[in-house]
C-alpha cells in the first residue's frame, strides 16, 4: 500500500538553494577568468581506483561491471595527456563510506589541473580561490613533519613503528601495534592535529610521507616525502593535491602494490586502469592538480554544521 505521509521535503529553502547556486557561479567565474576550460568526464568507469582506502560503488551493464567514479582524476589526466591544457570540473563523485556530517556517499567535487605549475604555485591559486569566499590574510603552510612535531613532539619520518603505536594506543587506538605505519599516522593526525587546523585561516600541509604519495611525485630533495598537500579550514579537510606523477612505470608499480595490499586486506579484487596507464605512457605534461570537496566547502561558506544542510537531498532522503 502506498505511503504518502513520508517526509519528502528538502532541508534547503529557496534562499539557500539560491546561495549555493551563487557560490557555484562564483567558482566557475573564478576559473573562467583564469582561462581554464570546464570539462565533463564519465561518472561510470570501466575501472575502479586501486587505493586501499577507497571503495567504489559498482553496477552491471549488460554483463559488464562498471564503477561509479570516486574522483574524475584518471579521465581528466587522460584529457591532459591529449593536450587539453588547464582544465577544471564540478561533478558528482561516489565513495562507499559511512555517512557523517562531513560525508555523503554521493557528493560534489571540484577538481582542477594546471600544466607546468609547481605544487606551491597551485596552492597560491587555492589561496586565491578561498579569498573569494573567506576573510583571512594568508593561508598558512607547514610540512607534514613540522606539524607532527608541533602537536605530538614526534617526527613521522623518523619515529619507529613501536613508538608510534604506543602513542596511538594511549589515545584510544586499541591493538595499535597490529596496524601498519600509515594507518597509525592517519589516526594520530586525525585525532590530534586535524581538529585544530585552520581556526583563523586555511592551512596547507605538504610533503606527506612517501608511503602516502598516492598519485604524487616523490620529492627529489627528500625522497622520504612526496609532493602531496592537503588543505584544512575550521578543522576540516577540504582538498587534496599533487604534483602529479607522470611516469607510467612508477604508476604501474604503485597500482600493483595497491592490489597486493588489497588482497592482503581481503578487499574486493579489481583491475587497474589500463587506459590511464596508456595515457601516461603517451606523455602527460608536468602538472599540479587538486580535488576539493565542494559540499564541505559550501558548508563553511554558508556557516552550517553539516553538509546535509547544504545538499538538496542526502542518501537518507534521496
- CA 245, 250, 255, 261 dihedral sign is negative
Of 205-219, 256-270, 286-300, the least confident: 256-270
Phi, psi of 231 (to 5 degrees): -115, 135
Adjacent-strand bridge partners of 37: 87
Q: Is the model's pLDDT at 1 over the cut of 90?
A: no
Sheet with 44-45, strands from edge to edge, namely: 44-45, 64-68, 58-61
The 10s digit of each residue's pLDDT in 117-161 is 999 999 999 999 999 999 999 999 999 999 999 999 999 999 999
**C-alpha cell, 209:** 610521507
Phi, psi of 114 (to 5 degrees): -125, 105
- Span between the terminal Cα atoms of the chain, in Å: 20
Q: What pLDDT was estimated at residue 140?
A: 97
Q: What pLDDT was estimated at residue 94?
A: 97
Q: What pLDDT was estimated at residue 39?
A: 98
Q: Is the model's pLDDT at 286 over the cut of 90?
A: yes
pTM: 0.95
**C-alpha cell, 233:** 579550514
Q: What pLDDT was estimated at residue 6?
A: 83
> Roughly what angle, to the nearest 10 degrees, separates helices 181-192 and 161-170?
40
Q: What pLDDT was estimated at residue 139?
A: 98
Q: Is the model's pLDDT at 252 over the cut of 70?
A: yes
Q: Residue 197 gets which letter from DSSP?
A: T
The 10s digit of each residue's pLDDT in 27-56 is 999 999 999 999 999 999 999 999 988 999
Q: Scan for cell 591493538, then name that residue.
A: 175
Q: What pLDDT was estimated at residue 105?
A: 97
**C-alpha cell, 203:** 592551512
Q: Which residue segments constitute the domains of the chain, with CATH numbers given?
A: 14-139+201-309 (3.30.930.10)
Q: Is the model's pLDDT at 262 over the cut of 80?
A: yes
Contact (Cβ atoms closer than 8 angstroms) between residue 229 and residue 204:
yes
Confidence of residue 112 (pLDDT cuts 50, 70, 90): very high
Q: Is the model's pLDDT at 92 over the cut of 80?
A: yes
Q: What is the CA radius of gyration of the chain?
A: 20
Confidence of residue 66 (pLDDT cuts 50, 70, 90): very high
Amino acid at each position: 500500500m502506498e505511503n504518502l505521509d513520508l517526509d519528502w521535503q528538502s532541508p534547503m529553502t529557496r534562499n539557500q538553494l539560491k546561495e549555493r547556486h551563487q557560490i557555484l557561479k562564483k567558482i566557475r567565474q573564478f576559473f573562467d577568468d583564469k582561462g581554464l576550460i570546464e570539462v565533463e568526464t564519465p561518472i561510470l568507469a570501466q575501472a575502479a581506483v586501486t587505493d586501499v582506502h577507497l571503495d567504489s560503488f559498482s553496477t552491471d551493464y549488460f554483463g559488464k561491471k562498471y564503477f561509479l567514479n570516486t574522483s574524475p582524476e584518471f579521465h581528466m589526466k587522460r584529457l591532459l595527456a591529449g593536450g587539453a591544457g588547464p582544465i577544471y570540473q564540478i561533478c558528482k563523485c561516489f565513495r562507499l563510506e559511512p555517512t557523517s556530517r562531513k560525508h555523503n556517499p554521493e557528493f560534489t567535487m571540484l577538481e582542477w589541473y594546471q600544466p607546468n605549475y609547481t605544487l606551491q604555485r597551485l596552492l597560491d591559486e587555492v589561496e586565491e580561490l578561498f579569498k573569494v569566499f573567506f576573510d583571512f590574510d594568508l593561508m598558512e603552510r607547514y610540512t607534514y613533519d613540522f606539524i607532527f612535531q608541533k602537536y605530538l613532539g614526534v617526527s613521522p619520518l623518523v619515529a619507529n613503528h613501536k613508538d608510534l603505536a604506543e602513542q596511538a594506543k594511549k589515545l584510544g587506538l586499541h591493538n595499535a601495534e597490529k596496524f601498519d605505519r600509515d594507518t597509525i599516522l592517519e589516526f594520530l593526525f586525525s585525532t590530534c592535529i586535524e581538529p585544530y587546523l585552520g581556526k583563523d585561516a586555511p592551512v596547507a600541509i605538504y610533503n606527506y610521507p612517501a608511503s602516502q604519495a598516492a598519485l604524487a611525485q616523490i620529492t627529489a630533495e627528500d625522497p622520504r616525502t612526496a609532493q602531496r598537500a592537503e588543505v584544512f579550514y575550521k578543522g576540516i579537510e577540504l582538498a587534496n593535491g599533487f604534483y602529479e606523477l607522470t611516469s607510467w612505470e612508477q604508476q604501474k608499480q604503485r597500482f600493483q602494490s595497491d592490489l597486493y595490499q588489497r588482497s592482503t586486506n581481503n578487499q574486493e579484487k579489481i583491475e587497474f586502469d589500463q587506459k590511464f596507464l596508456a595515457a601516461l605512457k603517451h606523455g602527460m605534461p608536468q602538472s599540479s592538480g587538486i580535488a576539493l570537496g565542494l559540499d564541505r566547502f559550501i558548508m563553511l561558506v554558508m556557516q552550517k554544521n553539516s553538509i546535509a544542510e547544504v545538499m538538496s537531498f542526502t542518501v537518507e532522503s534521496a
